[in-house]
Amino acid sequence: MHAHWIDYAVLAVYTAFVLGIGLVLRKSVHTSDDFFVSGRRIPGWVTGLAFLSANLGALEVMGMAANGAKYGVLAAHFYWIGAIPAMVFVGVFMMPFYYGSKARSVPEYLKLRFDEKTRALNAISFAFMTVLASGINMFAMAKVFQMLLGWSMDASILISALVVLGYTILGGLSSSIYNEVLQFFLICFGFAPLVAIGLHDVGGWKGLVARMPPGFSHAWAGLGAASTNPMGVEWLGMAMGLGFVLSFGYWCTDFLVVQRALAAEDMTAARNTPLIAALPKALFPFLVIAPGLIAIALTLHPLTGTAPLLQKLPDGTYDYNNALPLLLERYYPSGMLGLGLTALLASFMSGMAGNVTAFNTVWTYDLYQAYIRKGRSDAHYLKMGRFATIGGIVLSIGAAYLAMHYNNIMDYMQLLFSFFNAPLFGIFLLGMFWKRTTGHGAFWGLLMGTLAAFGHYILTQLGVLHYPSAMAANFYQAIYAFSVCFVAGILISLATRPRSDFELEGLVYSLTPRIRDDRAPWYRRPAILGAGVLAVVVVLNILFW
Partner 1 sequence: MLDIRIPISALFLGVGALLAFYGAFFHPSTPATANINLDLVWGLVMFFFGLGMGAWTWRSRRSGDAIERRIPADREKTAARSR
169 binds partner 1 (CB under 8 A): no
User: Which residue pairs, CB below 8 angstroms and at least 24 apart, start in 328-336?
Assistant: 328/148, 328/194, 329/1, 329/147, 329/148, 330/298, 331/194, 331/197, 331/198, 331/201, 332/193, 332/194, 334/3, 334/4, 334/6, 334/7, 335/4, 335/6, 335/7, 335/10, 336/193
Binders in 29-48 for partner 1, by CB under 8 A: 33, 39-41, 43, 46
- Decide: is 334 part of the binding site for partner 1 (CB under 8 A): yes
Q: What angle do CA 214, 216, 220 make, to 5 degrees?
A: 110
Judged by CB, which is closer to partner 1: 199, or 415?
A: 199
What is residue 375's DSSP assignment? T
Of 5 and 522, which has the nearer Cβ to partner 1?
5
Q: Is 365 in the site for partner 1 (CB under 8 A)?
A: no
By the rule CB under 8 A, 204 interacts with partner 1: no
Q: Mutual orientation of helices 58-71 and 290-300 as an angle, nearest 10°?
A: 40
x-or-dash pattern for partner 1, window 73-112, by CB under 8 A? -----------------------------x----------
371 binds partner 1 (CB under 8 A): no
- Cα 105–Cα 111–Cα 116 angle in degrees, nearest 5: 125
Query: Interior CA angle at 364 toward 360 and 368, to 5°?
Result: 135
User: Is position 185 an interface residue for partner 1 (rule: CB under 8 A)?
Assistant: yes
CB of 213 to partner 1, least distance (A): 23
Give the nearest distance from C-beta 262 to partner 1 in angstroms. 13
Distance CA 469, CA 145 (A): 30
Please tell me whether residue 239 adopts helix, strand or coil conformation. helix
* Of 14, 99, 359, 482, the one binding partner 1 by CB under 8 A: 14
Instruction: Please work out, in degrees rounded to the nearest 5, the angle formed at the alpha carbon of residue 396 by the alpha carbons of 282 and 257.
Output: 30
Is residue 335 close enough to count as binding partner 1 by CB under 8 A?
Answer: yes
DSSP 3: -
Query: Is 520 one of the binding residues for partner 1 (CB under 8 A)?
Result: no
Quick check: 498 binds partner 1 (CB under 8 A)? no
Cross-strand bridge partners of residue 42 = 264
13 binds partner 1 (CB under 8 A): yes
Judged by CB under 8 A, the residue of 106, 110, 141, 182 near partner 1 is 182
Residue 4 C-beta: closest distance to partner 1, Å: 8
How far apart, in Å, are the Cα atoms of 187 and each of 158, 173, 198, 286, 542? 23, 21, 16, 12, 26
Shortest distance (Å) from residue 403 CB to partner 1: 30
CB of 388 to partner 1, least distance (A): 22
**Angle subtended at Cα 144 by Cα 143 and Cα 150, rounded to the nearest 5 degrees:** 90
> Among 150, 152, 189, 224, which residue sits at the site for partner 1 (rule: CB under 8 A)?
189
Task: Work out whether 269 is an interface residue with partner 1 (CB under 8 A).
Answer: no
Nearest one of 41, 98, 79, 47 to 276, comparing CA atoms: 47
Cα atoms in the 13 Å half-sphere on the side-chain side of 98: 33
Should residue 10 be labelled a site residue for partner 1 when binding is judged by CB under 8 A?
Answer: yes
Size of the site for partner 1 (CB under 8 A): 39
User: Which of residues 199 and 533 has its CB atom nearest to partner 1 in the complex?
Assistant: 199
Q: In a 10 Å sphere around its CB, with 0-12 CB exposed, 13-18 middle and 19+ buried, how is residue 513 labelled?
A: exposed
User: Are 104 and 360 in contact, with CB atoms under 8 Å apart?
Assistant: no
Min. distance of Cβ 78 from partner 1 in angstroms? 27
Q: Which is nearer to partner 1, 43 or 398 (CB)?
A: 43
Residue ranges that bind partner 1, judged by CB under 8 A:
4, 6, 9-10, 13-14, 17, 20-21, 24-25, 28, 33, 39-41, 43, 46, 102, 174, 178, 181-182, 185, 189, 193, 197, 200-201, 265, 330-336, 339, 342
